[in-house]
Structure 1
Amino acid sequence: MSMIKKLIAECLGTGILVFFGPGAAAMTLMIANNTGTAGIGLLGGLGDWFAIGFSFAIAIAAVIYTMGRISGAHINPAVTIGLWAVKKFPTKDTVLYIIAQLIGAAIGSLLFFACIGIDSVTIGGLGATAPFAGISYFQAILAEFIGTFLLMFVIMGVAVDKRAPDGFAGLVIGLTVGAIITTTGNIAGASLNPARTFGPYLIDSIYGLNLWYYFPIYIIGPVLGAIVAAFTYEYLNRE
């Protein structure tokens, strides 16, 4: 595949992820607001997170199965950097992939806003991630590190390792993300992906909602988690 096709696939795939994943979180908040419930928790807290996680799972599986053969379907700068760190992805393509992912994330958020209007920002925050009440900056980074570690470890095992059985990567990776979001979503939003947070933050900030103070959480935690997971997998599987 040409590089331009790979970049289009990464942009499109990340846009799909951000439209449907954070979009589900924003929709949950808007439904809760319409029923007089404050915040995510209309279905009893964990039920909301399961629904959001399931939306991410399906979107990720769909992108992997449709675009994995084109670009590898990273759709996540942390994954791209993790693969680069263990020499599974070329240096010359890394920055281009990340730029495409960030653009796709912004487009995905913008399209979700276009479908609903200002309530998607003022009530739903476009599904932007932020630490929940009582969670410190460090705790949020740690939660993102742990979640992304598991995600990257699974990616190494089912998608990168040539010994993995064919046809299961999309399903397993999608379900892994869904499980991580269900368990850790109420800590810091379970971004696991700098682009997933970047898109909503960018469009939110255009309409007056500024959350950039928290953005380092969703760079440091996911990127470190992905790098450590990639090196750990390589170490454990080295003959």
Structure 2
Amino acid sequence: MPVAVDGIETDISRMEEGSSRTKATADNSNIPDCCSVAVVSFVQKLIAEVIGTYFVIFSGCGAVAVNKIYGSVSFPGICITWGLVVMVMVYSVGHISGAHFNPAVTITFAIFRRFPWKQVPLYIVAQVFGSTLASGTLRLLFTVKAVDYFGTVPVGSNFQSLVVEIIITFLLMFVISGVSTDDRAIGELGGVAVGMTILLNVLVAGPVSGASMNPARSIGPALVMNIYGGLWVYILGPIVGAIAGAFAYNLLRFTDKPLPQPTKTRSFFNSTSRK
């Protein structure tokens, strides 16, 4: 009899567990689609892109505005600011959204199947919104006049700035492709590499085109300040340059080494520990 009683108790406990699982499944099925894990995760990515782009533009364009108004930052200081803020935001939210902050990067990743096309429009909206919000903040804080414009306008001809934007964005996307899509690269230094690339690009191309490399970086200030001279250069140039840069790196990705070798993940800490 005790054995029978134990069996009955076991059966009852199993029935209770099954009932609770069924109830949990039914509860999950009643959760609206707007509250699903996938939707919540995507919303988090969009928020990360808005915040990341906001602070990239607020800091970078803020340095430009402060230098024009007060003359206290200097051109090298502006270059360093752009590089540092991108590096900081890559490490802050890169694990959440990928830290694009740039429609040209988002579009290029989608073209090379590193990013789903269905997310591209909302990513771009988030990036432009973050840039516009930051530009509006700067205009309110510093009462920026047209002469203190912190956006990008061609210093010479539109064609000259277009070529410069294509070249520097090519370099930027080439570096991004290397540190973020190739497992042979040392991943921990990705943010440093991207930040330093932007610093170098601004140092070289800043006096010529403003070194945008990012349609959102140019669109936001243009919308807030209502200055649209040569804006198409900063939309077309970065997109063309980014696509070309990613294509060039993909050509270098092919190797005659065995497959496990080029896909083996490398770590900066592991590399230094072996020395």
| Band the TM-score falls in, shorter-chain normalisation | 0.7 to 0.9
1:56 aligns with 2:82: yes
1:229 aligns with 2:249: no
SS in 2 for 1:168: helix
Q: Specify which of 80, 97, 102 is matched with residue 128 of structure 2.
A: 102
Larger radius of gyration: 2
Gaps of 5+ in 2: 1-39, 256-275
Alignment of 1:203-218 (within 5 A): 203-205=224-226, 210=227, 212-218=228-234
| CA RMSD, Structure 1 to Structure 2 (Å) | 1.4
Gaps of 5+ in 1: 33-41
* Cα pair 2:93 2:99 within 8 Å, conserved: yes
After TM superposition, give the deviation of residue 171 of structure 1 in Å. Answer: 1.0
1:4 aligns with 2:43: yes
- CA deviation vs aligned residue, 1:8-40 (integer Å, no higher than 9, x gap): 0001110101101011111111124xxxxxxxx
Matches of 1:114 and 1:159, distance apart in 2: 36
Matches of 1:203 and 1:221, distance apart in 2: 21
TM-score, normalization by structure 1: 0.87
1:130 aligns with 2:153: yes
SS in 2 for 1:214: coil
Matches of 1:62 and 1:140, distance apart in 2: 28
1:181 aligns with 2:202: yes
Aligned position for 1:152:
173
1:121 aligns with 2:142: no
Matches of 1:216 and 1:175, distance apart in 2: 26
Q: How many residues align?
A: 216
Aligned position for 2:217:
196
After TM superposition, give the deviation of residue 130 of structure 1 in Å. Answer: 0.6
Aligned position for 2:55:
16
Runs of 4 or more, structure 1, over 3 Å off, are none
After TM superposition, give the deviation of residue 111 of structure 1 in Å. Answer: 1.3
After TM superposition, give the deviation of residue 49 of structure 1 in Å. Answer: 2.8
Q: Identity of counterpart residues, as a percentage?
A: 38
- CA deviation vs aligned residue, 1:38-75 (integer Å, no higher than 9, x gap): xxxx88xxxx3321111111110111000000000000
* Cα pair 1:50 1:181 within 8 Å, conserved: no
Matches of 1:51 and 1:114, distance apart in 2: 23
Matches of 1:193 and 1:49, distance apart in 2: 19
- After TM superposition, the structure 1 stretch with the greater mean CA deviation from structure 2, 1-10 or 98-107, is 1-10
Residue identity in the other structure for 1:62 = V
Matches of 1:25 and 1:213, distance apart in 2: 18
Aligned position for 2:189:
168
Matches of 1:90 and 1:188, distance apart in 2: 31
Aligned position for 2:28:
none
* Cα pair 2:153 2:229 within 8 Å, conserved: no
- CA deviation vs aligned residue, 1:107-144 (integer Å, no higher than 9, x gap): 11111122222xx233421x110111xx2111110000
Matches of 1:115 and 1:142, distance apart in 2: 34
* Cα pair 2:165 2:209 within 8 Å, conserved: yes
